[in-house]
Every structure is written in structure tokens, then in C-alpha cells.
Structure 1
């Protein structure tokens, strides 16, 4: 990984916003313990930056997709509980046990294989994942869940039964029929079985919109802590959430071009009169998508459009007049009375907000502020 600290393009992560959003979701859901998903490089906000902010902001634990992300957090000297949400190769069971990393288990065969790799010096904490309708991974039969619990308890010298979980496919919609179907399946699969320390069922949508319908003492959330309203305005306006991410750069070249000059590859934009054009060192190689050509960034408290095709490392903007080199360009964030949000970018690109942020590449310099 190369992090570009010598150019003026940078992402700032607001600790104050993270703290606010954690407080909002705790107050709304009634949760005592919050696990924040920091997978995929902290939803593009930076794995280490977001983990540091989240722990400082009061989360109980962190959730990741793969072992490598969990190990990176342990190397960061973070001691909070870490849960791996995906399937981990069973041969790494001992490594996870030694590092006190919780594994999500979705088959009895996995447990049997992992048992052979565990020395017993440290017990492996396991969460059993249930497929109630996501159709991805997890136990689907109550008998299988009961068998897995029995196996873990019978091998208590090597395993620790700590959690049961599922994932809702539609918890952030006004149409609650599928959510209710999944919730019914959850109860059918788990009611009456030995209860672990963690029932982590609620994702961001369930935590905000269904806190009284699901177990909510422990929640496992993502988008809401990043300041993104999960329903995208359908169920709430998100006014109490604060945006966590800002993305800014500076102009490093400014020129005046006459009418008839093409800008960037393929000349999809041609100047119609004398125009001031600024160059900014950010491009699709940083995750600022080519489809964002035409999007209005903010310069000096006013909107200015991106013109021409966005290149890998640079893009151009049309200015109302000449600006000095080093003038700030706000892609996401506030400048004067104007603001660009992640949702604004997502709507322009016709993508979900989390698709935008997870696309931001690691070479963007990230800074924790506040």
C-alpha cells in the first residue's frame, strides 16, 4: 500500500461525528454493546482510522470480513472483541484462538475440522451464524444449530460458545413483510436453545427501525455510525446523524483556455468561450469514479462542475475566474453555506452511499480530526 502524503488530496474522519452517531444508535436502539463493522477498509474510511475513532467513541467491539483484517486490528494493539463475519478457513482456528478473535461458524463440518487444529491452550470463541433469509451463509435447520451448540459445549476445552447471529436482508424498508418473515424464522431456529453471551441480530436498519422487535442488547451496525441513514430517507431523514467523512484537495494548476479547446480524454467537453480551468490531483485511481464527470464540487463557497473525462490521477474543473494555486476543492464536506454529502455523490453516480465510500482507495491520505 502506498499512501499519498505528499499531495494535497486528503480524507478527514471526524471523531466527534463518530461519537455522536454511536450515541444516537445506542439511544435509539437501547443497545448496551455496539459492534461496528469496519470491514473493507472501514467502509473506505480507513481500517485503522475508523477503528481508532470507534474505540475512542465507545463501541464495545469491531466486526470484520476476514482474518487478515482482524489481525491488522490486533497489530494496531486494539484489545476490544473482534468478530469475523465471513467464513474463515478452519486451519486458522488456532491463530484466531490465540489472538482472541471470534469466528462465525456456519456448519458442523467446520467445527469438526477446526477442533483438530486447536491445541486447547486458548479456546476459540465462536458465533453460530443462521441463514433466516439472506441466502448467503448460515445454518438453516434448528437440528443443525442444536447439534453445533452441543458439539461446542462437548469440546469446551477448545471452543467457547459466545454468540448467535443472523443478518436481515430488508430491515430498512417501509415494506416489513420480509423482515417479519426472517424474524419468525429466527425465533423458530433459536427459541429454547442454550443462550450465549451475544445475540447480535440487529444491523443498522433493525437497530434504528425495529429495536423493540429484535434482541438489541448487542447490535452489529455499519452505515449508521458512518453517518449514512440506512433507508436513504424512506423511513427517517437522518437529521441527528453527523457525516463522518470529508474529502478535499487543492488546485495544482490553473489556466485560461480559449473557446474550442478539448478537455481530457476523448474531448467529451470542449470550451464554448474563454474559460478558466483548474486541475486537481485526484482521479478514478483514488476511487473518484469516471461517472462523476459533471458533478459539482465546491470552490470558495460556490459550486463548480467537473469537466472532461476524469483521469486516473487528475481531473479538471471549470472555474468562474482565476484562482491561486493551492485553493481548496471540496468533493465531500462543507464549504461556506454549501455541502456535498456522500448521499449526493451516490445519487449522482446512481449507486448506494456505501458503494461510493468502499471504493475510495488506500492511497488517499486519511486523517482523524476532532
Structure 2
């Protein structure tokens, strides 16, 4: 299960529930109703946040990625430290540290509980993650779950079932010691692990329960949760009310339901909900203070519902404002469309992915090739967009490209297609990449590092570039004996799958046969093959019938062919990328006047020229000088030599051209279109080279 469903949307709901828990919205209208809302229903918020953490952390815990886990805990610790200082003034104002033992209280607050009641969550989360990460690696997921369940049961008798504990003096003494040590962060031991584990089990689980059944089970378990809470309240058994028996199944089915309800991943909502959780007590104080100053206590303090509404509104507004200011400061750069830029049509990208999946066999998945900055399209943004469509396998050429993806939140499998030296193996392990092994010696070098990593074996079936020769069976078998390398796939690459020439088709079929024979031999030796894939873009278009686990879609994913080629399949791909620039100025050139470097162009008659703000440093080939651009839906021929930063065009036949007009070098303008295939052929190259060489200083605009 890789989709995030509506988790991010529910984060916001959970943040409002936390505010409700601390403002008692229904208290003015009835204690029972408010108890149900704040002491039972709102109790889903914190477990939900914990389950989200468990859901996304599991992969790194399972793979023993200590660096990532420590990095996660470090981020939480920094957030905790900032929150402590945020609330110190409030505690000092309230006289919290005026007692004789104020030093002890301060240390206890900083280490265990935070300087305000809700901040226990951060040290509790760190403690819980450390416990779970250690146990999962030592005893596995199932046993860790049972231990977490036992810890939760122990915690219950210090929380909602404390009335039972009071009847047993030995147990009461035990819990009194726990409460003395930590008012709230004990939850890091007794509460946090179970909900982290629920998130992990859901991530790990393959069993799909229909949404309607999940919702039904949630309604039943949630109803029983409310009943449990009311009974405990009626019998006055609760010391606290954050832990219930039925909270565990209710959260399990709620989380599964949210994953199945369509939603969009939103970093903004994640940030806003976190800020709301942190700052809402300050907003409560400010709302109360403002109500007192303006004599509005009857409205915004005494009326609990209006008080909740005011606190919620201003908390959300403050969090939203903070994200806007932060984003503005972070992105204090010139507008992307100020000079020269690339426009990316994400809808076309999604449609191309659907078209390619449509022509492949049902069980063959698409692996998105996002090397070379996703062929100039922006690797991180493209990978994130494809992740939302259900594609969770990516291929890159280099270790640096893989790190960029992972560092920007790409969670899927990332296969490094090219060579990576053995001294970088710890980086491969840290980020949980899959490394291509290009031959026996490469495998031995990696294995000698004694660092366990996932690999895929490249088979050379006739391209004679990277890979172990398909006939080198002894070498292949020896790679399997490298005990530190876990083989997750065996793949090859087709040399002329783009050609429909009979000789090239025969060569491609021989490559496919050699690959299949190698796979059959490995299976006959009882050696695990893992994922199989041989098709790249043209392999998909010209040999779509091949039954392998994956097909690697590169240039075709972006709606482009390498050249204006014929292919066997009837697939309508839409260009994803356009290149545009601004007109800097318009000049008159008189008869006989020369233009540009080398005086390479001479005006045959009086004409108008326009300077376009893009050049070969932006990736425009210098030999595109015989081409044209589109301005105001008309063709403007390129004249003179293309410069590093600019090029010049003839706009004599186009009325009204002026500074700041848009020139299109690749893409559509009205009824006119310039394709990447047209440009690359005119320059004597292929689209792969043209697009992958686009310059870093181009701005990027993504159209949803």
C-alpha cells in the first residue's frame, strides 16, 4: 500500500480535535456532550499522528536505516526544543517556577513533559520510535506488536482504568512512581509504541479490505469506544482519559479507511497541522486576553463554542500565515517566467503514464526513468506526481540523482542504473537504494565492504556496454554467492528496439531470447531472479507483449520520441514540456547592416529583429540557428549565431511585437507548434540529448 489517501486532509481535522480537547466546545451546553467530544472522540487525534509516523517510518526501520531514524528523531527534538522556548514565557508568567524546587521542575519539564502540557508528544514520540525501532530489528514486527500491546494494557491501568489499580496497593505504588517521574511522557512507553505499530502493520499488510467494510468496522468499534468511555466515566474509574481498549481497533479501521478515500498529498496541510498543534495554547491565552480587554468575555470566553471557534480560527490563520511567510522567504527568487523557462504539463504526464500502462500486460508495472533531471522535466516534481498516480518504482543513472529524489521525499524504490564505486556503499544503504551490479568484479568490490544492500544484476545480451555477459553463467552464479548482496532483480537493455528494420527486429528478438534463457538457467539453479525487465521506451512501444515484471519508461513518458519514428503500437502521447522565453527588445536593421557574432547575418532589406532571452547556456543548440520560434502564433526565423544568453529572430512579418512578448521554442502557440522531435532532427541529434541538456538557470512552471 503506497498511496496516502486522505491522510493529509485528516491531519487538519485532528489538529482541530486537539484544540477542542483543550477548549471544551460543548461545555456551555452540557457536560456529557462535551465529555463525549473532548474526552472520547477527540482522543483519536494523537494516535492518528502516531500512526502516520509509524506508517512512513516502517520501511526505514525494516531496512535498519539508522541514519534516517536518527535524522527523524533529530527533527522532532529540534521542534521540541523550539516549542519549549516558545512556552517558557507563559510558564514564567503563570508563576510555574516560583517554588523552592523550581530547578527540578524545569529539568523534569525539559526532559520529560515539555514546558506546557501538550508538548509531551515530542519526547514521547522520540522515545516510542527508539523502542519500536530497536525491537523490530531484534525480534521482528509481530513480537514487537505483542510487546507494544502489553505495554498499552499496562498503561491503561494508569489511565482510564486507574480505578481498578487503586484497589491493589502494590499496583498503585508502581503507578505513583511512574506519575512522579513523568506526568505525561510515560505515554512514550505505554501508548506511543502500539499506535506506531498499527501504522507499520497497515503499511506492511497486503490484505485489502473493501472501503465499505472498513467503514462498517470503524463505526462499530468507534461506537463501542464511546460506550466504553461513558461507562468508565459513570463508574469514576478514570484518572486520565487518553487510553481506551476500543481506541486500538477504532484507529486501525479509521486509518485504513482514510488510505482508501481519495485525497492529495499536501506538504502545506502537514505543516499547518503541526504548527496548529504547537501554538494553539498560546492562541487560547491571546483570545482570552483580547476578550478581557474588549469586554467580550460573555461571547468569547463564557460561551465555550464561540471560544473554540475563535481559537480555531486564529490558530489556523496564524499557522497559514506562518507557512506563507516561510514559503515566501524560502522562495525569494526571481519569478520563473521572468526570462526563460520550461512549462511542464502534469496532466499530459499522467495521461502518458496511463497510455503506456494500457498497452502493457496486466501484471507488468511501469518503472519511471527520471535520470538527467527527468530528461529536463524536473526529476523531483515528476517523481512526486507519478507517485500520486500509483507508480512507485524509479530509475536513475547516478547515486547523486538518487539522493536528490530521496532527500526530497520520494519514498518508492529507486534503482541506480549506472556504476557506483564500492566506497559509496554506505550511502546506498543509508538511503535504501537498489544498486545495479555491472559485472562480477563490481559485485566482489561491493561485497568486500560487508555492508548489506539490495542489488539488481545487469545482463549484457548484445549491447556490449554494461553488464555480465549472458553466456557468463559461472560469473553469474558467483555473484549470487556474495552474501552481503541481496538480489532483487535481473534485467537487460535492448540496443535497437527503436528500429523496425527487419535485421534490427531479428537482433532484438535474439537479445530477448538470450535474456529469457539466462533467466531460465538461473531458475533451474534455484537462484532467486527477483524483478525482471528488459524494455525501455521503444521496447514498450514496439514489443508491448513481453511479459515481465517491469518496463522502464523514459523519453516516452514525457510524450516525446527520440526522433520522428514509426512504432508498432497505437498510442497517443502528449508532449509534456514546452520551452519559452521573453522578447527583450525590438530593433530595426537596415539594408546591408550586419548582425551578431562574426557578422554572420546581413540584412537584404530593412527589417525588424527581436532579441530573445535564451541561449546555448540554457541548452539551446548553437546549430539551431536555421530554425524558428513562435511569437504571437506566428513563425519568426532565427537569424545570426545563437549566443550564450540570447538569440535573435526576424519579426518583420509579425505585427506588434514588443518587449516582454513570449517566444516559444518548443511547444504550442495558437494553431502553430514546434515539437522537440522537429528541433532535434534539424540539429542532427535526438530529443533525449536536446532535453537532458537544458540549462540549470531555466525557470520551471508546473501546470496541474
1:283 match: 615
In the alignment, structure 1 segments of 5+ residues that lack a partner are: none
Partner of 1:160: 486
> How far off its partner does 1:46 sit?
2.4
Q: Is the 8 A contact 1:129 1:137 kept in 2?
A: yes
Corresponding residue number in structure 2 for 1:309: 641
Q: Distance in 2 between matches of 1:99 and 1:231?
A: 36
Matched, 1:146 2:480: no
2:497 paired residue among 162, 171, 177:
171
Find the counterpart in structure 1 of residue 544 from structure 2: 211
The answer for the alignment partner of 1:104 in structure 2 is 436
Q: Tell me the CA shift for residue 220 of structure 1.
A: 1.2
What is the aligned counterpart of 2:422 among 68, 80, 90?
90
Equivalent in the alignment of 1:125: 454
| CA distance, structure 2, for counterparts of residue 334 and residue 249 of structure 1 | 13
Of structures 1 and 2, the one with the larger relative CO (CA 8 A, separation 6+) is 1
Correspondence 1:256-335 to 2 at 5 A: 256-319=588-651, 320=653, 321-335=655-669
| CA displacement 1:160-218 (0-9 Å, x = unmatched) | 22000000001121130110111121123221413433102111112222122x33331
1:238 is displaced (CA, Å) by 6.9
What is the CA-CA distance between 1:363 and the residue it aligns to?
Answer: 1.1
* 180-189 or 71-80: bigger deviation: 180-189
Task: Provide the residue aligned with 2:181 in structure 1.
Answer: none
Moved more, 255-264 or 5-14: 5-14
In the alignment, structure 1 residue 201 sits paired with structure 2 residue 528 = no
Other structure's SS at 1:361 match: coil
CA contact (8 A) 2:440 2:475 kept: yes
Post-superposition Cα deviations, 1:21-61, rounded to whole Å, max 9, x if no partner, equal: 11111111125421111112221222223323332343221
- State which drifts further: 88-97 or 341-350: 88-97
Matched length: 359
Instruction: Quote the offset at 1:236 in angstroms.
Output: 5.1
Aligned equivalents of 1:317, 1:259: Cα separation in 2: 16
The 5 A counterparts of 1:340-351 are 340-351=674-685
Alignment of 1:245-260 (within 5 A): 245-260=577-592
The offset of 1:237, in angstroms, is 8.4
Counterparts of 1:78 and 1:138, CA distance in 2: 27
Is the 1:12–1:369 Cα contact (8 Å) retained in structure 2? Answer: yes
Report how far residue 352 of structure 1 moved: 0.8
Query: 8 Å contact 1:142–1:188 — kept in the other structure?
Result: no
TM-score by length of 2: 0.49
Q: Equivalent residue of 1:202, what SS?
A: coil
Matched with 1:356 is 690
Q: Which one has the bigger helix percentage?
A: 2
| C-alpha distance in structure 1 between counterparts of 2:563 and 2:662, whole Å | 32
- Equivalent residue, structure 1, for 2:379: 47
Determine if contact 1:282/1:313 at 8 Å carries over to the other structure. Answer: yes
CA contact under 8 A between 2:355 and 2:571: conserved in structure 1? no
C-alpha distance in 2 between matches for 1:236 and 1:255: 49
TM-score by structure 1 length? 0.92
Q: Contact 1:35/1:63 (CA < 8 Å) preserved in 2?
A: yes
Distance 2:416 2:568 in 1: 30
Structure with greater strand share of residues: 1
SS in 1 for 2:534: strand
Deviations 1:304-361 (A, max 9, x none): 1011111100111111244221111111111111011101101111211111111211
Q: Highest CA radius of gyration, 1 or 2?
A: 2
Quick check: 2:365–2:549 contact (8 Å CA) kept in 1?
A: yes
Deviation, 1:101, is 0.2
CA RMSD of aligned residues (A): 1.9
Which of 394, 401, 404 aligns to 1:62? It is 394
1:18 and 2:349 aligned: yes
Deviation at 1:369, TM superposition (A): 1.3
Conservation of the 8 A alpha-carbon contact between 1:66 and 1:84 = yes
Give every structure 1 segment of 4 or more consecutive aligned residues whose post-TM-superposition deviation is greater than 6 Å: none
Q: Structure 1 residues 118, 367: closer, same or farther in 2, change over 3 A?
A: farther
Preserved contact between residue 458 and residue 490 of structure 2 (Cα < 8 Å): yes
